[in-house]
Amino acid sequence: MDNCTFGAWLTPYNILNEYQSNRTYTVHNNAMDVEIWDLNADPLDDLAWTELSYKTRPKRRSLRARLTIKPGATSVPNFECPSGKLVTFEIACADADCGMEFHQDEATPRIAWMIFQYPRMDDFTRNILIGLLVLIVAHQISFRFLIDPSKYRERVTIRAAHRAFHDDKPDRRHPPDALLPYRTNFNWDRALNLYDLKLRRDAPAKFAELRRIWAIDEEEYKREVQGEWSTFGEAAGLSGSLFFHSTNKHYLLKSLGRAFENRFLHEYFLPAYFDYVRENPGTLLNRVLDVLCSFDWRLGDGWLSPSHFLVLENIAREKEDDWETLDLKPMEYLEPFRDLVPERIQGSGVTDVLPDSKPLLIDSAVERTRFLMQLTRDAEFLARMGAIDWSVLVVRPPDGRGWRIALIDVFWSLKTPRAHLTKVASDAAGIPTQTVTADAEGYAREVVRMMERAIRVEGGQ
């Protein structure tokens, strides 16, 4: 015989597997209150059933019932379960004063019941459950992604960012000045999501301190990040990052899609970045103003929608149409060997070349020296972080004056296993050094040399 579950309305309890010689199971339940009453009298509440014996046919999985005892009945009928399984109740009632103990071979009351059963899953039930699962997934993704997946992903991402920026509730587990540890959570509410995610701000108090150091108006910043974000679409490069800009285009929201880059961000970069900016407020590193992240495991994590986003200062704000935007890397690591590295492990994107005929002009030798000293400090910091494949982003007017610069894409680090193994495999195969297989110190030196050649004092040689 199979075990069943038998109990009061909406309150089932388990059968103890005590096999009796008369092929019955015994239910012990001294804690449950069962509503028992005489149909012609007031209800008698809180009467405990202490023992109940019944017989059931095999292959019956579970049973729940509400029982109404009619004193004076002398027989218990057999009844047919909805699944066709026959169940016989054998109940005998002793004196009510003895606590409603039930024994066999006593006067038997009649029973009125309502039955709820859970039969063995058949093909029809299984198909129903599969259909419900499909409907749940369809509700999560709304099928809109089938029409235009990129637009749907952008809308969902912006909505998730808005929720994070508007959420002012304190996190009891992590104070606002504490960095979140890198981890993976499993939450059934979001496990089936392909695009939608719950983002949260990492260490908001620390980033607010950085914005004060850079004299960024907090009210204006809050108004912009909580306002409308517009998309640039897919980034022109191999990284495939998502880019959004605020209404005044002063701020960018950029995705960080690779898991090893997210780990580097949390475990290495951010802890050192805050201290470095305090000591070097004039750093040329692209200013990180906020980090939005999600650690929930999702079906679409990584390959469909990223889980981390950076709010960055946009150095290309208010640029004119004839201004150039250049993504510079040392040429020593590029042609003619870049195509030897598979695309899936290549770096951030297409690299530009600054012709010698179009230098970056600066007013004086003192300013040039000061700029190169800061660039050297920043490059040494990135070398300590093991960062390679980073770029010098230059926004340049046609006359070469008043240009802006930022060091970007600094999250490919040899401190992470994937980047390290990529370098080891490249070296073992004898492939010439590329931006993603370079030595961190050597890469930093080459970037400084590249900028030394590019920056010239106006009117000088």
**Reading across the β-sheet that carries 78-80, which strands appear in turn?**
25-28, 51-56, 86-89, 78-80
β-bridge pairing 455-457 and 360-362: parallel
Identify the CATH number of the domain defined by range 319-461.
Answer: 3.30.810
Distance (Å, rounded) from C-alpha 242 to C-alpha 375? Answer: 27
Identify the CATH number of the domain defined by range 149-314.
Answer: 3.30.800.10
Q: Say what the pLDDT of residue 72 is.
A: 38
Q: Say what the pLDDT of residue 51 is.
A: 31
Q: Say what the pLDDT of residue 185 is.
A: 72
Domain locations in the chain as residue ranges? 5-117, 149-314, 319-461
Q: Say what the pLDDT of residue 47 is.
A: 30
Query: DSSP letters of 349-396?
Result: ---B---TTS-EEES-HHHHHHHHHHHHHHHHHHHHTTB-S-EEEEEE
Distance (Å, rounded) from C-alpha 443 to C-alpha 434? Answer: 10
Q: If you search the block for the tokens 């099928």, which residue do you land on?
A: 143
Q: Say what the pLDDT of residue 145 is.
A: 52
Q: If you search the block for the tokens 């992470």, which residue do you land on?
A: 416
Q: Say what the pLDDT of residue 352 is.
A: 61
3-state secondary structure of 457: strand
Per-residue pLDDT of the chain (461 residues; tens, 9 = 90+): 333 333 322 222 222 222 222 223 333 333 333 333 232 333 333 333 323 333 333 333 333 333 333 333 333 333 333 333 333 333 333 333 323 333 333 333 333 333 333 344 567 777 888 888 877 766 655 555 555 567 777 888 888 899 999 887 767 777 788 888 877 777 766 676 667 788 899 999 999 999 999 999 999 999 999 999 988 754 444 456 788 999 999 999 999 888 899 999 999 999 999 999 999 999 999 999 999 998 877 776 655 678 899 999 999 888 877 888 889 999 887 644 443 334 443 444 445 667 676 788 898 999 999 999 999 999 999 999 999 999 999 998 888 888 999 999 999 999 999 999 988 898 888 888 888 899 999 999 999 999 999 999 987 65
Q: Say what the pLDDT of residue 301 is.
A: 67
